[in-house]
Amino acid sequence: MKFKPTTLALVAIATILGGVVYLTETRNSSNPEATEGADGSIFEFEEDQVQSFTVETPERTLSFEKDDAGQWQMQQPESGLASDASVAYLLNLLATGESDIILTVPATDTAEFGLDEPTATINVVLDNQETHQLILGSANFDNSAIYAQADPEADSEPEPATEEGNSEQTADAPEISVLQVSPDFENAVNRPLEEWRSQPDEPPPTNSPSPSTAPPDTSGSGAAEPEASPPAANPPAANPPESSEPEASAPAVSPPAAESTQPAEGN
């Protein structure tokens, strides 16, 4: 049986078109799609809108709530003032974090991304009672990101069908959106319990003088005061000053005149 050239050409064209459609559908199913936010953000709320949140890991569950004064209080596993730095670090990641790559995969493939046994699940309640959830899975192949799922309940809702075929495909194979988020989330949730507690400021050390040490000089001169010496003994009486004028000498006594021993001559 021979085929006309026209028939062969039509078969070739149909085969080529079928291949193009198949490649297009495959590429669209694996390409990233921004589904969580218009700018690729994970959530669309502000950090100060969060009223309470919990962090669930395989090891423990942490619960925090903001009091009327705006201070974060730890509710579980113990009660007390929470560390503002640790809480702010996690909430900032939730409010400002982005995902540049969002994969649309079948819901049955969650195990490939570590989402069937999450490393952590974060539940957030806003001041308007709106709730959000972020599930953290395993790291990607080069540890540059963590696979995550944001608000999985919204993902599980089937999309409205536009065609009969689309409705059947959605019912048979539901899909979920898998995000790649910053690895900083791992450090934010897997921290020691003591880092979630508020650490009181240590008082500055004080230098208290010992009993045998004299108190420091507070005059500001910096020089030590000399010790008082015992009173000196009374000095000996001073000799009267010697006169610089010579003493007057007694008048000299002239010797008596010598008597003549020769006889007087007669007249």
Q: Which of 57, 64, 59 is nearest to 78 (CA)?
A: 64
| Mean pLDDT to the nearest integer, 107-127 | 95
Task: Say if residue 97's pLDDT is above 80.
Answer: yes
CA dist 22 and 25 (Å) reads: 5
Show the CA angle centred on residue 55, arms to residues 49 and 60, nearest 5°. 155
Task: Say if residue 9's pLDDT is above 90.
Answer: no
Q: Cis omega (within 30 of 0) on the bond before 77?
A: yes
Residue the block writes with tokens 């540049």: 100
| Mean pLDDT to the nearest integer, 134-153 | 93
Q: Which of 195, 197, 188, 199 is nearest to 95 (CA)?
A: 188
Can you give the pLDDT at residue 64? 97
| Mean pLDDT to the nearest integer, 244-249 | 48
Domain ranges for the chain: 29-192
**Cross-strand pairs, 246:** none
| Mean pLDDT to the nearest integer, 117-128 | 96
Cβ atoms of residues 26 and 78 within 8 Å:
no
Confidence of residue 243 (pLDDT cuts 50, 70, 90): very low
Can you give the pLDDT at residue 199? 81
Give the tokens for residue 239: 């000799």
Q: What is the pLDDT of residues 219-242, one digit of tens each?
A: 554 444 555 555 555 555 555 545
Residues above pLDDT 90, as percent of the chain: 48
Cβ atoms of residues 94 and 209 within 8 Å:
no
32 vs 126 pLDDT, higher one? 126
Confidence of residue 15 (pLDDT cuts 50, 70, 90): confident
Task: Say if residue 155's pLDDT is above 50.
Answer: yes
Q: What is the pLDDT of residues 177-207, one digit of tens each?
A: 999 999 999 999 999 999 999 987 645 555 5
Helices vs. strands in the chain: H and E counts, helices first: 6, 9
Task: Say if residue 113's pLDDT is above 80.
Answer: yes
- Whole-structure pTM over 0.85, yes or no? no
| Mean pLDDT to the nearest integer, 73-85 | 95
Cβ atoms of residues 54 and 64 within 8 Å:
yes
Confidence of residue 71 (pLDDT cuts 50, 70, 90): very high
Give 82's DSSP letter: B
